A and B are shown apart, each in its own frame.
Chain A
């Protein structure tokens, strides 16, 4: 059994904290929320403290932040319908670019592994892909209207230019660039959840995806490429994604976020019942019908809904944040 130990509680934000995101090196993380600020946290004398506050970038709630893979840029998605790009060319983080185009609230933002692409999604039901050109120019490469409702989350594949999105329409969609004409197209729709899909996370290989939902379940999806040895029909040349595992009966309310650790393979979930849970794939579990066991669960991890969980790049620390305005740092041990 694993163990999560509370290391530190950080309270600086006013109101709900929506999201936390690790710098790729794992020595700094950022948080954002209702108070329209981004806070950067780093370690000093063994304790995490808030060194930098980025304010005045947005007029409304900041819903999510994402670090570029090089760690030199932060993108922030806001209810004010814009996405801001912060860079530290002047020595400290400053907002030098604002991406406009969505009709209303931007819900999520993600960078591709190369840092050359940025994706955003919105309540206006669309997903936008932006090309990062020279001189910090951002060009809209695609507006994808495949979802029929509010899009909650976007995330890129860990090593391909493949984009996944989760929506209020209960589905997950996979997009990629068509090599023949460079148009972005929806190549797969993952249907199985019975209510809003709030978040999603690829494993380190990118051939598996974990999703979490308002239907109180977590699902694991497996990619089957054309010509797969299991004989799963794929139709044209595209892969199919099949739900190979549903974790139900664990969460008692909406599951708002999920983090799949690229170091340890552990899955952590953030739930509206104030609980943080950690799941581990059982040894010798069949890859086409895997079993996951809950290895730890922290009741009352926060005083209110847990909105986000994020494993550190090393996999030894889990950060969580909540409607109660607090951020918590947890140490994970086997």
Chain B
């Protein structure tokens, strides 16, 4: 298969999260924060390159919002090029990883960072349609591809 974006920019990974004494104390309620959500998804592999979504700057912690009171998680991602045909697959991989890892109470929204993709609206609409996402996840071929992206190296 020919690569769409032959030479993507590669960025450094952030340092591992430092675990504080408070976080190790089971008596302290530790709410889910943007860093925790980022850590769940930053290792997802790009479908084309042997690089993580973090290294390609597809995902950034600053583009994640978490509202614990209203059970909302919103992730914006930036395709490497505006015509990336993998945009829906990448969004779906992020969505699936969060559906599997976060408590069921969270409503997860995954959208393209505004202005970074030619078909932003239609990709967002597809990712927000839980019926189409559910049907996609019953497709054996597709779920295999998604699982390959999700497994961290």
Contacts and interface: CB of A to CB of B under 8 A. Distances in A.
A107 B131 contact: yes
A303 B129 contact: no
B107 A79 contact: no
Assign chain B's interface to a size class: 10 to 19
B128 interface: yes
Contact of A61 (B107, B128, B134): B134
A125 interface: no
A105 interface: yes
A152 B130 CA distance: 12
A79 B130 contact: no
Contacts, number: 39
B73 to A, nearest CB: 14
Contacts of B138: 60-61, 79
B49 interface: no
Contact of B135 (A79, A168, A196, A305): A79
A110 to B, nearest CB: 17
B104 A34 contact: no
B130 A305 contact: yes
Contact of A168 (B105, B129, B134): B129
A18 B128 CA distance: 17
Contact of A123 (B104, B125, B128, B132): B132
B125 A196 contact: yes
A152 B105 contact: no
B66 to A, nearest CB: 17
A123 B138 CA distance: 14
A105 B129 CA distance: 14
A16 B104 contact: no
A86 B131 CA distance: 24
Contacts of A16: 134
Contacts of B105: 303-304
Interface in B101-153: 104-105, 107, 125, 128-132, 134-135, 138
A61 B135 contact: yes
A246 B135 CA distance: 31
Contacts of B135: 60-61, 79, 104-105, 123
Given A79-B134, A214-B128, A304-B105, 11 more contacts: A61-B135, A63-B131, A79-B135, A104-B135, A123-B135, A150-B129, A150-B132, A168-B125, A195-B125, A214-B125, A305-B130
7 contacts: A60-B138, A61-B138, A107-B131, A123-B132, A168-B129, A196-B125, A253-B107
Interface of A: 16, 34, 60-61, 63, 79, 104-105, 107, 123, 150, 152, 168, 195-196, 214, 253-254, 272, 303-305, 323-324
